[in-house]
Amino acid sequence: MNASTFLIWSLGALGAYLLGAVPFGFLIARARGVDIRTVGSRNTGATNVFRCVGKPWGIATFVLDLSKGVAGCRLVPWLLAQAFGAPAAPGIAPLHVFCGCLAVTGHNWPVFLGFKGGKGVATSAGLLLGLAPVGCGIALLAWLLAMAATRYVSLASIVAAIALGIAAWPLYRSAGIWFPITLDGLAALAIGRHHANIRRLLAGTEPHVRF
């Protein structure tokens, strides 16, 4: 790796991480007079904002968190290509995936909130939307079916992650084995971030979503 490539990847990592670290859920809740870190599940993600601040604000948080994933994998590499005079790589390129993953990392462990953030589901969905829309569609379908059957957001998110992890191989093996492995890693991370929800599901204390 030459110095220019190292600089591009380093700037991409920093920019995507800081973009992902913008705590939209915390900011929206704070604007409504609520410290989202002290209510409900104390998570800064869209589901807790939906429950504790209001449905429109939860939806807004989801859309903004999803946009961080799209921007991380598409906008950041494009800006780097413009800045360094390089052609933007089409399709699924390692730099796109790397920056998208750093956006998810920033959302989960934001420097602005003491490295305590969300679960990364919406931001990971944004990465999928930007790079793997078919996989995103499969995960969304699995989420909707599980949500309709159980009304547990956490369980639906886990089912969606499992569906993505399975579908990644037939869908994206041709892009290189590294890409389905990365998607499996994101799926495993999303499931792992739901460890408290899994305990509550097993104990029968996980709250349903009421529409």
Residue 52 is which amino acid? C
Q: Decide if 158 is inside a domain.
A: yes
Q: Decide if 209 is inside a domain.
A: no
Q: Decide if 94 is inside a domain.
A: yes
Q: What is the pLDDT of residue 112?
A: 96
Q: What is the pLDDT of residue 48?
A: 94
Whether residue 23 has pLDDT greater than 70: yes
Q: Decide if 208 is inside a domain.
A: no
Q: Decide if 210 is inside a domain.
A: no
Separation between Cα atoms, residue 47 and residue 60, nearest integer Å? 11
Whether residue 1 has pLDDT greater than 70: no
For residue 166, what are the domain limits?
3-110+118-203
Whether residue 104 has pLDDT greater than 70: yes
Task: Count up the domains in the chain and report the number.
Answer: 1
Across residues 9-13, what is the average pLDDT? 95
Count of CB atoms situated within 10 Å of the CB of 92: 18
Residue 50 is which amino acid? F
48-98 confidence digits (pLDDT tens): 999 999 999 999 999 999 999 999 999 999 999 999 876 666 668 999 999
pTM as predicted: 0.93
Q: Which long-range contacts (CB under 8 A, 24 or more apart) does 8-13 make?
A: 8/80, 8/84, 8/86, 8/95, 9/95, 9/98, 11/80, 12/76, 12/77, 12/80, 12/95, 12/98, 12/99, 12/102, 13/98, 13/99, 13/102
What percentage of the chain reaches a pLDDT higher than 70? 96
Separation between Cα atoms, residue 146 and residue 37, nearest integer Å? 27
Q: Decide if 39 is inside a domain.
A: yes
Q: Decide if 20 is inside a domain.
A: yes
Q: Decide if 12 is inside a domain.
A: yes
The CA–CA distances, whole Å, from 38 to 12, 29, 46, 56 equal 33, 11, 15, 20
Q: What is the pLDDT of residue 87?
A: 66
